[in-house]
Amino acid sequence: MKLVFAGTPEVAVPALDALLASGRHEVAAVVTRPDAPAGRGRRLVASPVAERAEEAGIEVLKPVRPRDPEFLERLKEIGPDCCPVVAYGALLPRTALDIPARGWVNLHFSLLPAWRGAAPVQHAIMAGDEITGAATFLIEEGLDSGPVYGTVTEEIRPTDTSGDLLTRLALAGAGLLAATMDGIEDGTLKAVPQPADGISLAPKVTVEDARVDWRTPALRVDRVVRGCTPAPGAWTTFRGERLKIVQARPVPEVTDLAPGQLSAGKNTVHVGTGSYAVELLWVQAQGKKPMRAADWARGVRIAPGETVGD
């Protein structure tokens, strides 16, 4: 098939690579978000998908909005059979959805209908799920509600951050998307409607969602820290300033600390929760680089009974 691939961040690159390596399909063009300011200088930088496509010598389309007439006209001229999508980042209007004969097929990082929305991996970890996966489905105008072509499953490991899990899902999902394109082309795959039961939503995780509530149990604190790493980053406050929690772990043997109460040893920093304590391993103070929590604690000289999260 002739394909136009839509995607933007680094997590979409493995799927593009898998399609480029396919001997069966032609990636005629790539659709991605416009260049965005990045770094201290706020220079405009192309998306990871745009950079990869340019390396491969593929036409790159960067519409401000997918409904822009110039973009729609160019898409019609290319005439794709199918448009595979991974984390493109913009809503597709009906005028765009109708152009490819076999539609737009999205790779989504959950086992639909669970965790429809922008942040399925973060929500799966924060909810304490043990199994997740990826699914390919035909895009409709509803939110991740279209019929499913295929899935792969992935175990959520006890120490997984959303970054760790998303990296594995991007690789497994790349193979799934390529296989889905093959199955659509040869007619062996039929999209199956999603069940009406088991729907859960995964909206974008906000900075406020990532604030640690020390009154909750240690397992909940651990899930929030892992689910919000690397973005938007779990955080609390210390002496009126924000303190980012880069890495932590539950320590069931420490049970004598009140929620938010700090205890610093020579090489350890513990914080009380609604159950037992968690150990802070890496933190990032406001305006500073990430550092070992024990080094941070020595620098700030934690007073007896001092707390975080006030």
* Binding site members for (6S)-5,6,7,8-tetrahydrofolate: 110-113
Per-residue tokens: 167: 């990296």
Of 221, 252, 253, nearest in space to 236 by CA: 221
**Environment class of residue 31 by beta-carbon count within 10 Å: exposed (0-12), middle (13-18) or buried (19+)?**
buried
Per-residue tokens: 55: 């390396």
- Total residues found in the chain within this entry: 310
The answer to whether 181 touches 82, Cβ cutoff 8 Å, is yes
Give CA angle at 30 (42, 72), nearest 5°: 100
Amino acid at 249: R
Beta strands (DSSP E) in 156-268 are 235-238, 241-251, 262-264
Residue 251, CB-side half-sphere exposure with 13 Å CA sphere: 17
Residue 294, CB-side half-sphere exposure with 13 Å CA sphere: 5
